Amino acid sequence: MYLGLDLGTSEIKAVVIDEQGKLLASAGEPLDVSRPHPHWVEQNPADWWQATHLAISRLRNKLPQQWQEIRAIGLSGQMHGAVLLSREGKVLRPAILWNDTRSAAECEQLTQSAPELHQVAGNLAMPGFTAPKLLWVARHEPAIFEQTATVLLPKDYLRWMMSGEKVSDMSDAAGTLWLDVAKRDWSDSLLAACGLNRDHMPRLAEGSEVSATLKNDIARAWGLRDNVVIAGGGGDNAASAVGIGAVNPGDAFISLGTSGVLFAVNDRFRPNPQSAVHAFCHALPGRWHQMSVMLTAASALRWYCNLIGTNETTLLAEIAQLSPAQQRQAPLFLPYLSGERTPHNDPNATGAFHGMTHSSDRAALGYAVLEGVAFGMADGLEVMQQAGTRLQQCSLVGGGARSDRWAQLMSDALNLPVVTHSGGEAGGALGAARLGWLAAGGNFAEVCRKPAIERQFLPDVETRGMLGERLATYRQLYQQQVALRSA
């Protein structure tokens, strides 16, 4: 059997699959996020490790007879986070996360000091990426920067705790702005622009390769045999791609988690930074991918539910009762609760409801939230199409995949067939387990096959017309917001 661990922003998820690829069991443990100042988003790496132990314990209790058959572990995780370690391996400060936007000024600094950035890293400097975070630490916390001996990404901190090895994979490393994405190697010039060198970086491995072995004391604590190998793994989206078989050029999926991602597989490095489209390595050798990324997706629905004191299941049932006329009259929602990446690269963008009246009930506002996220995805698809990417169909994964209403909205807004898969909500954890299977010698064609389609959603012509009008207004509202901020 093969264990997959996915370190998300809101929880760590663990799954086990067998050698037929069947999902046998899953477990999760919630995580809290700290927002001590405006634009700051942090977590304590010690909390990740504690949550990992708890998730493993729960999973072990579900499979007591088979547990020791686990042969490999794969890792997936939230990208771009900065874990700073001293020479002694001490965590020097809370990890700065992917949706932290404090380093906007440092993005300008990096762009000016590294003119080769866009071509080598394939991406614009954005506050979410790792490199600007280190420039911020160097400017505002110089004593901590001086003590920093190693910078690890979140999932790679778990690997270090599990194995004592400091390793990252190509897909996650591509999100630092320190990787030469075409060459799949660290860039000395981009590191130097941040006052760093290769000694500060973990070694690199492909996601399907053996990167380390589980330490004996951890294996005993978890009830596993010795010599359990740990795969290189992947950033959460690249791992999710492996999980739903998006491994060949033209394959694509939408992930509705804390953030929202439109992911397309390429056979070569195809950067298009001008439109804030990301170009990264895939978690598999010889493959790359493009992504449009919105910073707030399913987390917008959680935020709204918390605001009105209900749960997602109840709200989604109420939204499903809305008539087409009620949807047409619903307010519009800008989902920029944490700023935005694609296509705006605007850390100062804010969320907003527009067009509320006395008849705007909570179901109408809930519909607006779902629709606003779908419109953000439509913006991302448009700039990917401008970059030459053509998609025929998208799989839907992540927590949002549980909602048929949202899946249909995605199909209508993007004018693409959308399919869901059995186990699609497992996301990165399932892909991580598959990468562990590959590292243990699994056959690529067998491991990376696409799961069976559970549901298919096709664009509705009448709804498309209504959404087109609302999308045009949605885009105008963002431009008005920009104009007001610059006035």
Using DSSP, state whether 453 is helix, strand or coil: strand
8 A C-beta contact, residue 347 and residue 104: yes
Indicate the burial class of 227 (C-beta count within 10 angstroms; 0-12, 13-18, 19 or more): exposed
In Å, how far from its chain's centre is CA 415? 23
Through-space distance between the first and last CA atoms of the chain, rounded to whole angstroms: 59
**Tokens at 432, concatenated:** 């991580």
Which residues of the chain are modeled with pLDDT < 70? 423-426
- pLDDT in the model for residue 423: 66
> Could you identify the residue written with the tokens 């549980």?
402
Q: Which residues contact 357 (CB under 8 A, 6 or more apart)?
A: none
Return the bridge partners of 279, or none.
290
**Considering all CA atoms of the chain, what is the largest pairwise distance in Å, rounded to the nearest integer?**
66
- E strands of 351-413, at which residues? 352-354, 394-397
**DSSP state at residue 82:** B
What whole-number distance in Å separates Cα of residue 241 and Cα of residue 398? 11
In Å, how far from its chain's centre is CA 402? 17
- E strands of 318-416, at which residues? 332-334, 352-354, 394-397
- Quote the Cα angle for 51-341-430, to 5°: 40
> Could you identify the residue written with the tokens 């194995």?
163
What whole-number distance in Å separates Cα of residue 48 and Cα of residue 43? 8
Q: From the CB of residue 370, how many other CB atoms can be counted at a distance below 10 Å?
A: 29
Query: pLDDT per residue over 430-446, tens digit each?
Result: 999 999 999 999 999 99
**Domains, the chain, with CATH or none:** 2-232 (3.30.420.40), 246-486 (3.30.420.40)
161 labeled part of a ligand binding site: no
Element (H, E) at 62: helix 45-62
What whole-number distance in Å separates Cα of residue 279 and Cα of residue 258? 20
- E strands of 32-182, at which residues? 42-43, 72-77, 83-85, 95-96, 150-152, 167-169, 179-180
Q: Provide the annotated active-site residues.
A: 236
pTM of this prediction? 0.85
What whole-number distance in Å separates Cα of residue 215 and Cα of residue 486? 55
Indicate the burial class of 230 (C-beta count within 10 angstroms; 0-12, 13-18, 19 or more): buried
Cis preceding linkage at 343, omega within 30? yes
- Quote the Cα angle for 121-123-125, to 5°: 100
Using DSSP, state whether 480 is helix, strand or coil: helix
Amino acid at 457: F
Task: Label each residue of 429-444 as H, E or C.
Answer: HHHHHHHHHHHCCCCH
Any alpha helices (H) in 348-443, and if so which ranges? Answer: 362-386, 404-414, 428-439
What whole-number distance in Å separates Cα of residue 486 and Cα of residue 291? 29
What whole-number distance in Å separates Cα of residue 473 and Cα of residue 35? 32
Return the bridge partners of 95, or none.
43
170 labeled part of a ligand binding site: no
8 A C-beta contact, residue 27 and residue 42: no
- pLDDT in the model for residue 481: 96
Any alpha helices (H) in 287-361, and if so which ranges? Answer: 298-308, 312-320, 324-328
Nearest to 351 by CA among 300, 275, 414: 300
**Tokens at 53, concatenated:** 């132990």
